[in-house]
Amino acid sequence: MSWQKLGKEFEKLRAEYRGSLPAKLVRLRSLWARVDCEEPDPDALEILKRELHTMAGSAGSFGLPLVSTAAAAAEDALSDLKEGSRPGAKRVAKFNDLFDRLGKA
């Protein structure tokens, strides 16, 4: 049985998940703002990575594979960023692009 066949219950959960995405994106952006600043917050970086990881792992199961892919790419883009260090211009551009993709997905 695929997710599509799980009927109304699944559709309800999917709608709930989809409905929760805008707030999640706002939160991700706010965490990113605490990383991409003069004094980067190491805790914010860790939380951001974790939340992107969670989104990458769950969105596809709710029928949103593009969100999963974009979140995984964003997580990858942060993987070698050291705690407390400010991301370089290249990484910022890449990450912002991924954020846009995430928003559109």
Partner 1 sequence: MDEKHVYALTARGTRELKSAATSLTALELKLLVLIDGQSPLSRIFKQFPSQPLAELKDTLFKLKTAGFIADAGGDEDSGDGAIEATGFFTRPVFPELAKAGAEAASQSDETLQLLRKQGYVARIAKRATEQMKLEKGQKIHVLVIEDDPQLAKLLRMFLNMHEFIPRMAAGKDEIVAALRVVPKPDVVLLDVTLPDVDGFEVLSRIKQHPVLKTVPVIMMTAKATREAVLQGLTRGADGYITKPFDVDIISSGIKSVLGLK
Q: Which of 15, 61, 84, 100 binds partner 1 (CB under 8 A)?
A: 61
Rounded to the nearest 10 degrees, how much is the dihedral formed by the CA atoms of 72, 73, 76, 78? Answer: -110
Given its phi and psi angles, is residue 37 left (phi above 0), alpha (psi -120 to 50 degrees) or beta?
Answer: beta
Q: Which of 31, 35, 59, 98 binds partner 1 (CB under 8 A)?
A: 59
Site string for partner 1, 77-96 (x = CB under 8 A): --xx----------------
Contact 45, 81 (CB under 8 A): yes
Q: Minimum distance between the CB of residue 86 and partner 1, rounded to whole angstroms?
A: 19
Which residue do the tokens 């699944």 mark? 10
Q: Which of 20, 27, 13 is nearest to 61 (CA)?
A: 13
Q: Is 43 in the site for partner 1 (CB under 8 A)?
A: no
Binding-site residue total for partner 1 (CB under 8 A)?
26
Where on the chain is the footprint of partner 1 (CB under 8 A)? 1-3, 6, 9-10, 13, 16-17, 20, 50, 53-54, 56-62, 65, 68, 72, 76, 79-80
